Chain A
């Protein structure tokens, strides 16, 4: 049985004195590919920020790879792609290579870390995302799709076992989006990387993820697509059409 990568129990999160998340309990197993969906303001981003330690929970327990999150040190096992690509400073004077290398910071004080290993890791991440040819370009000179690839390369440079992505496909054109989803599927199926993908793209999530986590301040539904397709939760929030689209396109 695969080990739990994430265990969350009775998580509560507050913002400006208001409960944004309440009584969140679920586990994520190694190798899961989870689509995290919910209406606007439902707390999806807050949930992943709690998991990543960006926001401090108001209550409850989070465990990562069996360790209490507050004491977790092995952040190189987790890759994160934030939501706000549009807020990137276009004048930031860093090259693609420099930005991708920033991902290595989580491993900086690990034994065996060397300059050679550093450069090899950068090369591997750039190759995987097919952006080696733009490594010397400044981040502000790239298209939205290329910038997104750079940030993904930064997120996967440590070959993490868990990748959390917050609406990663919004800046991508349809072709790049398909390539991006194919890359995630490859990481999940070939390398057994656990993926949590926050998305509004409910039409295509069924093609990629094997589980669905539906939140609306609480966990409304968490389980396989088969279970989901026979439930009424999604229709309550998004209408009958969305359920049909997701269940129809689900491949697993």
Chain B
């Protein structure tokens, strides 16, 4: 079967459309959170996602409805702990992350162990994404990108030097809050693409790929977005053609781009 024939299937169209939108927001936010040394926030919030999906399944509520608010609150809790309770950023992520995992394990065991539904969220299945989920992905992705573009200069300024940004009159607390809320929304959306276990890969890999070869902040965002989108598209087609799990294939395709960029930089540095 050729690629054009694959495109005739509705489930592949939905996977490609939602995957591309989610790849765009992951790669953009990824650049910001990696530079702010908050790379593990994706991992931490993914663990919370696990706990809230388990809660949704136990209560028989559609997991996305319960996951989004819980992950949003958790992301703000990480921020508050860092700002008010003087907990270091990585420690705050660790606290929220372990509570999420612990809660998920307890809920899963109360619900009779890890069932098929929970496993499908852990490892993701973008090919099973519904029409409604695709529309939601598009809407939320447009909102996330719109907010990033609107606050682009403020976000860049805070990312480079928060103290000076504050001295320029930027409301840094507000921008930090916006950034973690956007990350929370992105993490929840990404759950459908690569699964809870691999969310942070989609946030981190395109960004660190871009940093190998980019010559400026804007080009970092562009390279990160391009490699992320290509990884999703190639990952979906490769996984179907060779019958591999789609989420893991997308992540490994991302890793391939990272390796290529890393070797390119090494080559430039030495020759």
* CB contact under 8 A between A52 and B166, given known A94-B216, A102-B160, A108-B153: yes
Please tell me if B169 contacts chain A, counting CB pairs below 8 Å: yes
Q: By the criterion CB–CB under 8 Å, are B35 and A80 in contact?
A: no
Residues on B with beta carbons closer than 8 Å to the beta carbon of A75: 167-169
| 0/1 interface trace, chain A 71-87, chain B, CB 8 Å (1 if under) | 01101101010101000
CB-CB < 8 A to A52: which residues of B?
A: 166-167
> How many residues of chain A have a CB within 8 Å of chain B?
32
Q: Which residues of B contact A88 (CB under 8 A)?
A: 161
- CB of B215 within 8 A of CB of A136, answer yes
Which residue in chain B gives the minimum CB-CB distance to A84?
B163
Which residues of chain B come closer than 8 Å to A104, judged between CB atoms?
A: 153
* A134→B76 CA distance, assembly (Å): 40
Q: Is A106 an interface residue (CB 8 A)?
A: yes
User: Which residues of the other chain, B, contact A142 by a CB distance below 8 angstroms?
Assistant: none
Does B261 count as interface, using CB distance less than 8 angstroms?
A: no
Task: List A contacts of B211 (CB < 8 A).
Answer: 91, 93
A12 within 8 Å of B (CB atoms):
no
A-B contact pairs, 7 of them (CB 8 A): A75-B168, A75-B169, A93-B215, A95-B217, A99-B160, A102-B161, A138-B216
A residues with a Cβ closer than 8 A to B are: 49, 52-54, 72-73, 75-76, 78, 80, 82, 84, 88-89, 91-95, 97-99, 102-106, 108, 136, 138, 154-155
Question: Which of B's residues lie within 8 Å of A, judged by CB?
Answer: 35, 37, 153-154, 156-157, 160-161, 163-170, 210-211, 214-220
Known: A52-B166, A82-B163. 14 other contacts (CB 8 A): A49-B163, A53-B167, A53-B169, A76-B168, A80-B168, A82-B161, A84-B163, A93-B214, A93-B220, A102-B157, A102-B160, A102-B168, A105-B168, A154-B164
